[in-house]
Amino acid sequence: MSFSRVAITIAAMFVIGASASAGTSPKLQDPEVAARSQKVQENMRRIDLLMQLMPLIIRKDQFDKILPVYAKIKSEQRKVLEDEDKQLLALEAEVNESLKKARENGVFPKKDLVKKCILLVRALGIRRIMARGELSEMLYKTIDECFDAGQKKVMTSIDWKEFDPSADLAGKSDADKMKFFIRVIFLDPLAYDILLDLDKKARASGL
């Protein structure tokens, strides 16, 4: 594999793993405008999440079971991210030195470093996928036990293609569809605060 091909591969991995709402480099865009633009994107996603979560009409007794699981999930997510930071920072000095030599002296990065970068990014991506599956399963068990048939029907009836054009859930079980809903809706980083708000409203209304 040529160096240019390797470089493209690394770049593609980081792009694929990056958040769509990460924003544009401050060098290319006014920081204040970029922040406001990102906020709009986040709020658009919040509206989307609310449109999926509000029809569930989650009761306070259900929130009592779901939110503690969420707390555990957030703790596990934090561990995954901390482990990622640890592994990335282990390469910090080597990557910075290689970058410095390339920019100042035109020295191509060593192939073994490039290979380590590719393998690390790939491993981190796989670990995130595995963690997401594990956390999804954890929340699914709780939701499956406490949600009624109507709420489960809402979860299994959304248009999957709107959330993932590559998803193919035709003929899949309701359990698979619920797990998909959990992955794309409940486990969205913006969903937790929305659920806390819905919990407060449920308690205030006596649901």
- The average confidence (pLDDT) of the chain is 85
Q: Which of 1-15, 32-46, 112-126, 192-206 has the lowest mean pLDDT?
A: 1-15
Task: Report pLDDT digits (tens) over 95-117.
Answer: 999 999 999 999 999 999 999 99
CA distances from 98 to 92, 117, 145, 178 (A): 10, 12, 53, 46
Task: Report pLDDT digits (tens) over 119-178.
Answer: 999 999 999 889 888 888 999 999 999 999 999 999 998 888 888 888 888 888 999 999
Task: Report pLDDT digits (tens) over 23-78.
Answer: 445 567 788 888 899 899 999 999 999 999 999 999 999 999 999 998 888 888 89
Residue 205 exposed, middle or buried by CB count within 10 Å (0-12, 13-18, 19+): exposed
Mean pLDDT of 79-95: 94
Q: Pick the closest to residue 139 from 198, 79, 182 (CA basis).
A: 182
Residue 124 DSSP SS3: helix
